[in-house]
Amino acid sequence: MGVEGIGRGFFLRVLLVGVLGLLVAGCAGAGESGEGEPVRIGVILPYSGVYAQLGEDITDAMELYFEREGNEIAGRPVELITEDTEADPQVGVQAARTLIEREQVDVLAGAVSTAVAYGVIDITRRDNIPFVIANATGNDATRQGARNVFRVSASSWQVSYPMGEYLVEQGVDEIFLSSADYAAGQEMSSGFREGFLEAGGTIVGEVHPPLETSDYSSYLTRIRQADPPGVFSFYAGSDAVRFVQQYREFGIEAQLYGPGYIVDEDTLPAQGEAAIGVRTILHYSPDLDNPENQEFKAAYEEAYDRDPTVYAVQGWDAAWLIGEAIKATDGNTEDRDALIEAMENVEFRSPRGPMELDENHNPIQNIYVREVRQLDDGTIDNVMIDTIERVQDPGE
Amino acid sequence: MVEATKPGEKAGRFPVRAGTLAVLGALGALAVYPFFGTTYMIGVLTEIMILAIFALSLGFLMGYPKLISLGHAAFFGGGAYAAGIVAVRLEAANLFLTLVCALVFATLLAVLIGVLSLRNTGIYFLMITLALAQLVYVVAEQWTWLTGGTDGLVGIPYPELFGFFSFDRFSFYYLVLLLAGGAYFLLRLVTRSPFGHVLLGIGSNERRMRAIGYGTRVYKLAAFVLSGAVAGVAGALWAHYNGIVAPVDVNWPLSATALIMVIVGGAGTLVGPMLGAAVVWFLDTGLSSYTERSTMIMGAVFILFVFFARGGIAGIARSLWERFYARTGT
Amino acid sequence: MISFEALLTHLLNGLAYGLLLFLLAAGLSLIFGMMDVINLSHGSFFMIGGFIGIGLVGVLESFWLALLATVLIVALLGLVVEVALLRPLYYRSHLDQILLTFGLALILEDGAEWIWGTRIQSLRVPEALTGSVEIFGAVVPVYRLAVLAAGVLLGAALWYVLERTRLGSIIRAGVADREMTAALGFNIPVIFAGVFVFGVALAAFAGFMAAPILGVYPGLDFQVLILALIIVVIGGLGSLTGAFWVSLLIGVTQSFGQAYFPAAAAFILYLIMAAVLLLRPEGLFKRRYA
């Protein structure tokens, strides 16, 4: 009996030590904040999966800003702590919780997909932690008016509605509408529909394929049959690559329009010549001729050996918003309300041109009409062809 | 009948007893941990315990009647959505209400899927549970006004009790611990009952059990439903803990993860799958904070398990035990 | 209401897509039928075929040479996997095989992400296969016709080898009764390795051919794996005939379903699988040689 007890005790210990060891290994020390202590900035972005490149671009540009500041804001060193969200609201919420509870970050920034943003807004609001949305476009993220939530990208409305008006002005009054069937796709579609119908256009047909459709041939056949003068589409990531490529493969003549995400710098290398001629609207165009953009492009290219994307610009502005606000509070991040107020008053000098925040903390900014062209050096990129000035989200 | 239970007892006698002790010890350690641990670690343990209940439910199904389901996320996610919808859409976060709704919904779902799928065996059972569970997934993703669609259902609070007690993360931890312990001892009771012996008999030789005169499909259905109900409870806790339910909670990769937890922990025991949940959590979520290549490491560990740890963690424990028993007992 | 041209377009596109799925599923089905191994890393070979193909097209500057080289390289990788990892496991349980091949799939996916990045990449189609043609008024991209042709040819060759040659009869015998075939003096390890390598090569071929249509990125592996599993199971494990007809069925129903009931498109696939397994618990075509 006694002998058996020893064996059993050992066995138990092996198990317990094993399990507890694993758990303790998952734990790391939490930092304290205060004068001279580092400013801890939590970054929640996709670093794996289809949107990983977006996460990379945003992070790189944020680092670029803080490096330019000597990695010190108001006398406090800066620490960027990143967590992978994939493109999944569940993972995103867990990542944000890890950063808030384990790393005790002062500010959160990131969120590529809208679903992640909504989940994170919910948990940051409880603790009044400033949260800077660096990409997600879901309209309600800022329209719900949470005080702690800021956005440096754009709302879905801002990159869809203006195109409806613009196309009618240009004499295009019949459009076939097509977007991926999920929250962001529906917002983009309805934003465009609203602007287009109000301006007097007619929608001649709609198809809404599910997310991650691999073969668009059925949908494209329907578009072909409708034979519209133009098609407005919203897809992102791999969906955008497949849609645009297959669109050309099927030899559809109709001019393709959409929010900038269907032919952005992230998807263009894979889309190649298939993307030439596509016209989109976005709050940035790589060829913008303002000193901030030239300076930013030069610095980014030197640091990372590639051209900045709209995501990089958003990353830069997110870091700018956080950095300048902390300067304004003299490094005090403890008083969250004061920090939020300082963020409301930050003046931007963004590569995208004029930019200020509206009362919901969503940017008022120019929206650029761009066309994909083959440049003189053979590369394929977006070229600005028109500007719609000072576009503000309606707020509700 | 007596013959049918024998193989189980032989294989089960020591590990079940030692396993029970291990579980009691672990429960004790977990019960005192919050007094020393950080908030973050309390959260991590809560998460792991919820996943452990989920893995336990599938482990029961895979270990006793030997039914390998690849659709278990339907019950976990179904329970999570049921609890979330009650809490958010009806604004009633009463613990009993959300838990009972999750339990009832997961049970009904399990009856439905069980009735439809239990005619199939082996890999065909695996695939039909996958197909039926994916139908649940599509509903969760498409029925936007109820489920929030791809954005998920956001804003689920911690539960409360009739207005006089609201759980916070500390008390919620103990709630999860209580239910994890409860689920374990419930299933342990079941596996040791005559009913459990029949299940084990079905697992090792269904044809013989049928020949003896058992209506094996009814037994299998009962086990399937019990397992689904337990998974549903885990799902409800998951919804409260995360504050969000998303389609990913019903999708097949989660079913696959649960399956892997059971295999890594060791199918055929109840403790194994729960430990498997902890290990897989560590490899999956825990490790990703430290290295970008965590997926690769996880894959390599799984392969190492296949070659060097037959029978998973429970298998290692068993062979360790046998080595000691051989050395000291003879 | 629905024109003849539209029907024809959907049909041809569906068939092309279905044949692509068949090439992928055929390997999985053979491996299961012959070796009784559920190969969860099968989709990874498809994905890697695409990645290597894109790289090689750039280097070799020839679509066809790159195709050949890709298939050979991935086949070699398959051989390594078979000898080093799978061979010791032939007589272990399905659970062990699931864990092993799942682990392998994770390593391959993360490795691909490491080497090629997460960005979706695309394969440029050779000039001769770009654009689209009209057949009886239906518009079909040339490249899809090429995929259709390749699928039909490979399918026919596969059928011929399995049904009409000595090698085929050995393989069929192996599927039906492994021990008996071994007892007759056939070298089972060599045959197994051959079947596995061949199945993996088919997957790489399919991955290469699909790259211009689907693009290639980490994550594609599991997306196609689940499709292939569904096809193999509906068709009846180990039945190539089953896999063939079910691939076409799924390709065509997906094509029509997406066009006319887009919201239900996601349902259709799983609904078919559930319905088939309910009515015929062991798939449409029971293993013929069992």
Q: What does the pLDDT read at residue C138?
A: 77
pLDDT at B250 over 60: yes
At A57, the amino acid letter reads D
CA distance A205 to A177: 6
pLDDT tens readout for residues C173-193: 777 777 777 777 777 788 888
CATH code (residue B41)? 1.10.3470
Residues of C with CB under 8 A from a CB of B: 38, 85, 88-89, 92, 94-96, 98-100, 102-111, 113-114, 222, 226, 229-230, 233, 237, 263, 266-267, 270-271, 273-274, 277-278, 281-283
Q: Positive or negative CA dihedral for C87, C93, C99, C105?
A: positive
CB contact under 8 A, C106 and B135: no
Q: Rg for chain B (alpha carbons), in Å?
A: 20
Q: What does the pLDDT read at residue B233?
A: 96
Q: What does the pLDDT read at residue B189?
A: 92
Q: Let me know: does C185 contact C6? Beta carbons within 8 Å.
A: no
State whether residue B81 sits within 8 Å of chain C by CB.
no
State which fold the A39-154+289-361 domain adopts: Rossmann fold (3.40.50)
Owning domain of residue B124: 2-250
Instruction: Indicate the average pLDDT of chain C.
Output: 85
Q: What does the pLDDT read at residue B19?
A: 65
pLDDT tens readout for residues B180-236: 999 999 999 999 999 999 988 888 888 888 888 888 889 999 999 999 999 999 999
Q: Tell me whether residue B113 is in a domain.
A: yes
CB contact under 8 A, C102 and B121: no
Q: What does the pLDDT read at residue A381?
A: 93
Task: Determine the residue among A32, A90, A123 to mutate to test chain B binding: the one whose Cβ has the most chain B Cβ atoms within 10 Å.
Answer: A90
Higher pLDDT, C50 or B294: C50
Lowest mean pLDDT among B36-45, B60-69, B179-188: B36-45
The residue in chain B having the minimum alpha-carbon distance to the alpha carbon of residue A140 is: B151
The residue in chain C having the minimum alpha-carbon distance to the alpha carbon of residue B267 is: C95
State whether residue B305 sits within 8 Å of chain C by CB.
yes
Q: Which residues in chain C are contacts of B70 at CB distance < 8 A?
A: none
> Which residue, C211, B148, C142, C24, is CA-closest to A238?
C211
Q: 3-state class of A373 per DSSP?
A: strand
Residue A126 to chain B, least CA–CA distance (Å) = 10
Helices H / strands E in chain B, number of each: 15, 4
Contacts of A340-347 with CB under 8 Å at 24 or more apart are A340/A128, A340/A130, A340/A147, A340/A148, A343/A130, A343/A150, A346/A320, A346/A321
State whether residue B253 sits within 8 Å of chain C by CB.
yes
Q: Let me know: does C58 contact C124? Beta carbons within 8 Å.
A: no
Instruction: Report how many domains make up chain B.
Output: 1
pLDDT band at C136 (very low <50, low <70, confident <90, very high): confident
pLDDT tens readout for residues C38-84: 889 999 999 999 999 999 998 888 899 999 999 999 999 999 999 99
Q: Tell me whether residue B184 is in a domain.
A: yes
Residues with Cβ within 8 Å of B243's Cβ and at least 6 positions away in sequence, in order, are A93, A119, A122, A123, B154, B155, B156, B157
Q: What does the pLDDT read at residue C123?
A: 86
pLDDT band at C286 (very low <50, low <70, confident <90, very high): low
Q: What does the pLDDT read at residue A28?
A: 38
Q: Tell me whether residue B264 is in a domain.
A: no
- In order of their start, the domains of chain C are 4-279 (1.10.3470)
pLDDT tens readout for residues B53-64: 999 999 999 989
- Name the one residue in this structure whose structure tokens are 């599938």: B58
Residue A97 to chain B, least CA–CA distance (Å) = 8
CA distance B248 to C256: 27
Q: What does the pLDDT read at residue B124?
A: 84
Name which CATH class applies to A158-282+369-391.
alpha beta
Please report, rounded to a whole number, the percentage of residues in chain C having pLDDT higher than 70.
Answer: 96
Mean pLDDT value of segment C110-133: 85
CA distance A204 to A252: 16
Put simply, the chain B residues between 172 and 201 with a CB less than 8 A from any chain C CB are none
Supply the ipTM of this predicted assembly.
0.87
Of C10, C131, C212, the CB nearest to A221: C10
The residue in chain C having the minimum alpha-carbon distance to the alpha carbon of residue A209 is: C262
- Name the one residue in this structure whose structure tokens are 């490790």: B287
Q: Tell me whether residue B276 is in a domain.
A: no
Q: What does the pLDDT read at residue B17?
A: 67
- Name the one residue in this structure whose structure tokens are 């019949």: A174
pLDDT tens readout for residues C228-284: 988 988 888 778 888 899 999 988 888 888 777 766 777 888 888 888 888 887 777
Domain parsing of chain A, residue ranges: 39-154+289-361, 158-282+369-391
Whole-model pTM: value is 0.84
Mean pLDDT value of segment B157-169: 85
Q: Which residues in chain B are contacts of A23 at CB distance < 8 A?
A: 41, 44-45, 48, 278, 282
Q: What is the pLDDT along chain A (396 residues), one digit of tens a residue?
A: 333 333 444 444 444 455 455 444 444 333 344 457 899 999 999 987 778 888 999 999 999 999 999 999 989 999 999 998 887 888 898 899 889 988 899 999 999 988 899 889 988 988 899 999 999 999 999 998 889 999 999 999 999 999 999 999 999 999 999 998 888 889 999 999 999 999 999 999 998 888 777 788 888 888 988 899 999 999 988 889 989 988 988 888 899 999 999 998 888 988 988 999 999 999 999 999 999 999 999 999 999 998 899 999 999 999 999 999 999 999 999 899 999 999 999 999 999 999 999 999 999 999 999 999 999 988 999 999 999 999 999 987
CB contact under 8 A, B296 and C273: no
CA distance C226 to C28: 11
Q: What does the pLDDT read at residue A363?
A: 95
Compute the C-alpha angle A298/A300/A304, nearest 5°. 125
CB contact under 8 A, B306 and C283: no
Q: Tell me whether residue B292 is in a domain.
A: no
In sequence order, the β-bridge partners of residue B67 are none
The residue in chain A having the minimum alpha-carbon distance to the alpha carbon of residue C121 is: A270
Domains A39-154+289-361 and A158-282+369-391 agree in fold? yes
The kind and range of the H/E element at A387 are strand A380-391
The number of C-alpha atoms within 13 Å of B58 and in the hemisphere containing its C-beta is 33
Q: Tell me whether residue B30 is in a domain.
A: yes
